[in-house]
Amino acid sequence: MTLLCFASKKYGEKVVLVDDEESYSYSRLFTESQKLALCLRKEVQIGSNSKVAFLSKNHASLVKSIFATSRLGAELFFVNTQLSKNQFQQLIEFHKLDVIIYDDEFTTLIEQSNFQGVKIKTYHEHLPAINNFLQVIDPEFYRIPRTSSSKLTLFTSGTTGVPKKAIHKPTLFNYLNPFISFIDRLKVLNYHTAYIATPIYHGYGMAILLLFIPLGKKIIIRRKFDAAESCNLIREHRVEVITVVPTILKRLIETNKNDLKSLRCIASGGAKLNQKLINDTIGTLGKVLYNLYGTTEAGLNFIATPEDLIYSTSTIGKPIDGMKLKVLDLNMEEVEVGKVGQICIRNTWSMRNSEYRWIETGDLGYHDQNGYYFLGGRIDDMIISGGVNVYPSFVEQILTQHPSIEDAAVIGIDDDEFGQRLNAFLVIAKSASTVTKQEIQEWLRTKVSKFELPKEIEIVDELPYSALGKLDRKQLRHMSTQK
């Protein structure tokens, strides 16, 4: 709310937010968020000890609710809208939530749980809802005591099990380094209109929202992503900055490249960019693609500029200022240049609920002699084949260099002789439908070691990705066992 208050005074009637229904000026967004805070305090008794969850798509009611409940000092829980019934039930039981602010489409999910707290819809014609709360009372008679107790709780994607939480304290001073690095490396001050195509409930979408508001930018959001509609939005509003995950970027380029000509900064995060997509984007739109690496626990930590991606399409770039990092082997010893280890991070903007100052990201990676960092996949994805460590992510990068392969995913499977071998799932380009598995095997044989050569290759129509663009390896393993 402090950021929004500052922006309201500075930018006034300038448009800040455009959703599916209407536009908001900075002044209106601040005034309505303040009034909503007062109404929620009086009608629902939300305060500094309250736990408030959001189960919502991207729209103005969500944005106002975030500012209002944060102003009241509540702990804010951002729930992935893709959670299963069982995952949502576990979240309810473990965190003892007081209030859920939710879209109507998630009513069944909530009603099937044992949640006993206050339920508030984001929109409704006549029932109590965020869009109706402003009409309940005249908030001029109430004042809210100042508080700094608010916390933002984000969750990991949960594709491999129960989502884990990461608590962040939204203190402006803690976030100066990523804030400044983002502005500087992405040249954000040069642009005026941004489109957040990623979910706000994800740490990435939330961070971009809070970064753009104090800079006086116009922010466009939509409840759901539709490639054709998004292309029209970009053309209509002459969008210069867009936040994407790789699957969103791929769909935009496939739908209408000409509508994307206004883009000057494509900020991709949340999942791995493959070489073909990077080359296609740069070849079509120029040097506009940025690769952002962060984690739910540790926040934003690496930025690869277009020049960095030209240096290497595999790099996540260089660390941002103000962070410390180590690449450690299994014995927790730092590895030398070029050797793979776990990336461990320490910074002021990481989660506040960790017992340790160093955060083990669970991501494998290495750095080269020029200070560029590269990912080697997740620790859980690494397999040991014939006593040799094999990184599926590396083999995936090689496979996507084949001119007939559009996308690739590699998992480990049990093998009697080697302990584990690789199983590759490939999406073949429509123009190359005649390519055979044997041809791909022979091509790959000259580029990887025998332990990295897949035992099996499967041709599929598409790979399973989450709404956040993360490859669902659990689903791939299920597909492998169903053969």
Residues 65 and 183 occupy one common structural domain: no
Residues 7 and 95 occupy one common structural domain: yes
Take residue 202 and report the two structure tokens written for it. 């994800």
Rounded CA gap, 43 and 41, in Å? 6
Rounded CA gap, 188 and 190, in Å? 5
- Tell me the three-class secondary structure of the chain, residue by residue: CHHHHHHHHHHCCCEEEECCCCEEEHHHHHHHHHHHHHHHHHHCCCCCCCEEEEECCCCHHHHHHHHHHHHCCCEEEECCCCCCHHHHHHHHHHHCCCEEEECHHHHHHHHCCCCCCEEEECCCCCCCEHHHHCCCCCHHHCCCCCCCCCEEEEECCCCCCCCCEEEECCCHHHHHHHHHHHHHHHCHHHCCEEEECCCCCCHHHHHHHHHHHHHCCEEECCCCCCHHHHHHHHHHHCCCEEEECHHHHHHHHHHCHHHHCCCCEEEECCCCCCHHHHHHHHHHHCCCEEEEEEECCCEEEEEECHHHHHHCCCEEEEECCCCEEEEECCCCCECCCCCCEEEEEECCCCCCCCCCCCEEEEEEEEECCCCCEEEEEEHHHCEEECCEEECHHHHHHHHCCCCCEEEEEEEEEEECCCEEEEEEEEEECHHHCCCCHHHHHHHHHCCCCCCCCCCEEEECCCCCECCCCCECHHHHHHHHHCC
Domain stop point among 357, 380, 403:
380
Nearest to 118, CA basis, from 102, 94, 95? 102
pLDDT of residue 146: 67
Domain stop point among 168, 195, 221:
168
Residues 46 and 120 occupy one common structural domain: yes
Q: How many residues does the chain have?
A: 483
Residues 412 and 364 occupy one common structural domain: no
* 474 C-beta neighbours (distance < 10 Å), count: 13
Residues 306 and 286 occupy one common structural domain: yes
Q: How far apart are the first and last CA of the chain?
A: 53
- Nearest-10 Cα torsion for 286, 249, 210, 80: -170
pLDDT of residue 81: 87
| 395: CATH | 3.30.300.30
Domain stop point among 346, 380, 414:
380
Residues 258 and 302 occupy one common structural domain: yes
Residues 344 and 388 occupy one common structural domain: no
Pairing of strands 456-459, 51-55: unpaired
| 207: CATH | 3.40.50.12780
Residues 180 and 162 occupy one common structural domain: no
213-261: pLDDT as tens digits: 989 999 999 999 999 999 999 999 999 999 999 999 999 999 999 999 9
Residue 419's domain spans which residues?
Answer: 382-481
| 125: CATH | 3.40.50.980
If one counts the domains in the chain, the total is 3
Residues 413 and 376 occupy one common structural domain: no
pLDDT of residue 49: 82
Name the stretches of the chain with pLDDT < 70. 135-143, 145-175, 203, 296, 349-356, 481-483
Residues 164 and 188 occupy one common structural domain: no
Residues 309 and 243 occupy one common structural domain: yes
Find all residues with CB under 8 Å of 316, minimum gap 6, and list them.
291, 293, 302, 304, 365, 373, 374, 375
Residues 117 and 33 occupy one common structural domain: yes
